[in-house]
A and B are shown apart, each in its own frame.
Chain A
Amino acid sequence: MEANKNTEGSFHLTGGDFTNAGAASSELKSILTNLNISPDIVRRAAIATFEGEMNVIIHAVAGVMYYLITPDCIKVVLNDMGPGIPDIQQAMREGYSTAPDWVREMGWGAGMGLPNMKKNSDEFRIDSVVGEGTTVEVIIKIKEDKTP
């Protein structure tokens, strides 16, 4: 990537659109690969964004995935118009899910989405208001922080 050059953009996500699930993450993965970002970082970003994309598709009416790629990091913010999460601590627990049975039958809704996002990011923030929606922000560092 050229020094000091940033790349940013966004994808609109539609709740319930399982047919196109993964399209936004896949496109972002291509963008990261074309920027010659290392495969391990691309892999982590792809997992985190796909899980975030699925959360919007499974739980929300609609949402937006915004990304900013700088020479130092990849920042992704997922903002949805969904039911919101009443208890974030509980939602972060591996194995906890409120997904309906038909979604679980598809192999989603195993309560691994948010934990997977956190595991694959260097910084993870989640904020939710019941009845309004949820915002999840992940940052994946491209360059190691040199400060001790």
Chain B
Amino acid sequence: MNIREVVDSLSLDVKTEKGDLGRTVTGCYISDLLSDVMANAKEGEVWITLQTHPNIAAVAALKNLACIIITNKRNPEEETLKKAEDERITVAVSPLSTFEVGGMLYTLLRC
């Protein structure tokens, strides 16, 4: 499954333009603690978080994550999107809760 299919299936609103939507998604990691993501998320995974500040783009880039999904109607800061574009990381948002997005993604990736 690639990012585009995840975006379509979860009706996500993509906030970036330069990310590779054709990139394969290998899994998902859910956390709002950035050190936890650095320690435990794996390359190619989607990261679901409530955090919106620019450091999430740096962490995602450093871990080579596929995409960041920000939940609960939160919007990324302008600087976050700028950094994400620089790093070609896709950032998408959802009005749903982390639980709901995570649950839907779990079903998608396990099927």
Contact = CB atoms under 8 A, between A and B. Distances in A.
Interface residues of B, number: 21
Contacts, number: 63
A107 B62 contact: no
Interface stretch (B6-14, B20-28, B52-60, B96-104): B52-60
Contacts of A113: 35
Given A19-B54, A51-B38, A110 B62 contact: no
A112 B31 CA distance: 14
Interface of A: 18-19, 21-23, 25-26, 29, 43, 46-47, 50-51, 54, 106-108, 110, 112-113, 116, 119
A116 B34 contact: no
Nearest to B58: A22
Given A22-B62, A46-B62, A106 B35 contact: no
Interface of B: 31-36, 38-39, 43, 49, 51, 53-56, 58-59, 61-63, 79
B62 A26 contact: yes
A57 to B, nearest CB: 9
Nearest to B32: A107
A50 B51 contact: no
